[in-house]
Amino acid sequence: MKIKILILEDNPLIQLGYKKAFETIPDFEIVRIVSNGEEGLIVLDSEEIDVILCDLNMPRMDGFEFTKRCMSTKPKPILIVSDLVQSENTEEIFKVLNYGAVEVLPKPKIGGDISLLRLELEKKIRILAGVIVFTKKESASKLRSFQRVDTTIDFPSERKISKDTLVMIGASTGGPQAFQQIFAAVPSDFPAPIFSVQHISNGFGQGMVEWLSQICPLKLHYLTDDTEWEPGHVYFPKDDHHLVLDGTKVRLEQSEKVRGHRPSVDQLFLSLTEYQCKKTLAFLLTGMGDDGAIGLKRIKDFGGYTFAQDEASSVVYGMPRVALELGGVCSVLSLEDIVTIFKTGVY
């Protein structure tokens, strides 16, 4: 079965580049190439589309407005491919992610030759073709689910996060949007430190932290040096560095990539001592692959409490699925329920 693709791009040379890039991929079908968002919305009314590739800077209706309208009426997985997607334009990147785009990819700076992105585009399109998206205006309560996985473990029916708790979060594709919902709900008196790893392209980490800082009442750190961690603070690693705990310090490492990732969720989770695991609340959110699954199981095995985001609310159900299959998950929750834990401090 072919993956049906709609492309929004007003530059004729880049349109041609898309055609050349995909002509040798037998299961890719370009349904239409249009030059603005108005035309894109018309195509969505008449054609079956699996994935949308969308520029941002277009006449009549730009990619921002198209994304907003598409995701509120006929939601589809949208990959933004634009020369505005650069490390110096983080405001635009996270604005369009907030409107509901799933992923972003910068156009090549060398002449805008889109065929240079062929392998990266193919990989992302195949992932997005399996993504189920929901209207941006829908209430997340429609996705509500709670599943107690390991009924042999005697956990109290209610626990509270305290200043002694260590909170860990790992995410990949769809993670920035999930972090946004979590940090918008967390109260200013949240008692525990939060250590966070998000797979993101180099150059965009600091912009993501600055974007999240606008809606989070806690102090967010884009960590550039080792430091003593504090309760009620949030820590993200510098681009291309692992984040690890070392006693009362949170450190950066630039050791080998873990299954292609630096930062790696597993590198953070596996850095905990057995004693720290007992005090840990760990969340593995949306994302492709398996990073974090091994570390999550170790935290659970040593007495910590572990959560995986459920399939319905995940943009890509990869990392949480593998963790569940490994037996590393205490509870499977919708994103809404995860947000509630951070809002109330009760789990």
- Single out the catalytic residue among 199, 221, 241, 261: 199
Distance of alpha carbon 77 from the chain centroid: 14
Structure token pair of residue 104: 């972003």
Alpha carbons within 13 A on the beta-carbon side of 67: 27
Torsion of CA 19, 21, 25, 27, to 10 degrees: -50
Q: Is 47 buried (19+), middle (13-18) or exposed (0-12) by CB count in 10 A?
A: exposed
Three-state DSSP class for residue 143: helix
Q: Can 291 be counted among the known catalytic residues?
A: yes
Q: Are 168 and 269 in contact (CB under 8 A)?
A: yes
Answer yes or no: 172 catalytic.
yes
Residues 87, 127 contacting (CB under 8 angstroms): no
- Vertex 185, ends 197 and 147: CA angle to 5°? 75
DSSP secondary structure string for all residues of 191-248: -S-EEEEE---TT-HHHHHHHHHTT-SSEEEEE-S-EE--TTEEEEEPTT-EEEEETT
Nearest C-alpha neighbor of 262 from the set 202, 322, 309, 176: 202
The tally of CA atoms less than 13 A away on the side-chain side of residue 184 is 10
Cα 85 from Cα 81, distance rounded (Å): 7
Q: How far apart are CA 131 and CA 76, in angstroms?
A: 9
Catalytic residue among 82, 172, 264, 334: 172
Q: How far apart, in whole angstroms, are the C-alpha atoms of residue 38 and residue 209?
A: 33
Of 291, 314, 331, 337, the active-site residue reads 291
CB 194 within 8 A of CB 165: no
Query: Euclidean distance between the first and final Cα of the chain, in Å?
Result: 43
Annotated catalytic, 233?
A: no
Give the active site residues: 172, 199, 291
